[in-house]
Amino acid sequence: MIMNHATRRQLLGSFSVFAAAAPGVEAAAATPPLVAAADVSTAAGEAAFQPTFFRSFFLGGFECSTHRRADGRRLDLIAATDHDVQAEQDYRQLAGHGIRSVRDGVRWHLVETSPGHYDWSSLLSMLRAAEAAKTEVVWDLCHYGWPDGLDVFSAAFVHRFAQYAASFARLHMAETGRPPSVCPINEISFLAWAGGDVGIMNPLASGRGDELKRQLARATIAAAHAIREAAPGARVIAIDPLINIIPRQGQDPRAVAAVNEKQFQAWDMLSGRLEPGLGGEPDLLDAIGVNYYWNNQWLHEGEREAVLPSDDRHRPLRALLAGAYARYRCPMFMSETSIEGDARAGWLRYIGEELRAAVRGGVPLEGICLYPVLSHPGWDDERYCPNGLLEMRARGSDRRLVHAPLATELRNQQDLFQALFASS
């Protein structure tokens, strides 16, 4: 449902406005905005909503993919960025930028050493680091990857995933005294497409995307019930891309609209609106997270061509958010957004403008997650992806280099949102 990282890079090179900066360099000047859109000042009483879901309105997300690529290699982006051994300092460094809530990942393939047997050592240091840094974490339990030898299409997958999720919830309660916030399976729609339709990641299938989507929904539903039974009060969040596919000249808009509708299938399954036999129900989700990148709008079929905010065919992000909220009427946050290189600050400025407009229009937005907040190696060729607030390289000790323009823009956006919510 959303483009993979390789496609993002190909498109990135097509637009000079998004030229990448040299990695690890603290630039001095802020990036110009991507579009000429002046921010509208907030008048008293415009916003009647106060975000309460997270400890901080701005979150940071750590890339934590663990899938197997088509060549058989398993990724582990937490290890590749040294986040597993540097978690406490990473959390503390983000706290210095006003970020007290993060998205992070549990690596299922490391935890479940054999069916029903768990080694939590790979998680415990990170869990304890978060506690020490007083950082709230939304934990992804499956970020595209699962233990070797487990057939994702089997009944065993659903059973083992629910068992693992419940075991995690009990561990979290024992370690923190609090129920966890969890995204059971990250981006069901993207995983169903990438792994079930085009075979660029596990399970390397083709033509089985719909089947995989149902199975992942089934597993998420089972895990949600198991988590809440093990840790009453746990919060379950479903995260998927928010997209807009645009018809080319001569294409039937109604047919393209039907394709766009598929982006909602996973959320609809989980909430019981679609295929209720899977077990979904309206109260299953405590919140939904929407992922939105610079290329989440593109022309239908043919070579994937991104439609940018400066294009008349581009649908405003505020309208996409309003549509999603009208559909589900539950807490919602922007769970991923970023761009590479020098465009980072300008992209966040654009996102902030759109999201404040959405809030003024009645969308109760609970937060914005800079994702990835830490730059990382690319999925397919280990190319350095300079897309974070923090760079991988440390400066002196264990503190990461900071992308200064994005840090400056983040402070500006924090002030603007604080003023927006203070006006209510």
pLDDT at 29 over 70: no
Q: Report the predicted TM-score, pTM, of the whole model to 2 decimal places.
A: 0.90
Q: What is the largest CA-CA distance in the chain?
A: 59
Predicted confidence at residue 35, as pLDDT, reads 38
- Rounded to an integer, what distance in angstroms lies between the CA atom of residue 403 and that of residue 90? 14
Share of the chain above pLDDT 90, in %: 85
Confidence label for 399 from pLDDT (cuts 50, 70 and 90): confident
Question: How do beta strands 235-241 and 181-185 pair?
Answer: parallel
Q: What is the mean pLDDT of residues 340-354?
A: 98
pLDDT at 30 over 50: no
pLDDT at 7 over 90: no
3-state secondary structure of 279: coil
Cβ-contact 351, 290 below 8 angstroms: no
- Rounded to an integer, what distance in angstroms lies between the CA atom of residue 231 and that of residue 217? 21
Q: What is the pLDDT of residues 274-319, one digit of tens each?
A: 999 999 999 999 999 999 999 999 999 988 899 999 999 999 999 9
Q: Which domains does the chain have, with CATH numbers?
A: 5-15+25-422 (3.20.20.80)
Predicted confidence at residue 397, as pLDDT, reads 62
Confidence label for 40 from pLDDT (cuts 50, 70 and 90): very low
Look at 150 and 40; give whichever has higher pLDDT: 150
3-state secondary structure of 160: helix
Q: What is the pLDDT of residues 217-253, one digit of tens each?
A: 999 999 999 999 999 999 999 999 999 999 999 999 9
Q: What is the mean pLDDT of residues 388-400?
A: 80
Predicted confidence at residue 304, as pLDDT, reads 87
Predicted confidence at residue 20, as pLDDT, reads 36
End-to-end distance of the chain based on CA atoms, in angstroms?
37
Q: What is the mean pLDDT of residues 14-36?
A: 34
Cβ-contact 112, 147 below 8 angstroms: yes
Confidence label for 41 from pLDDT (cuts 50, 70 and 90): very low
Closest CA to 205 of 143, 266, 147, 151: 151
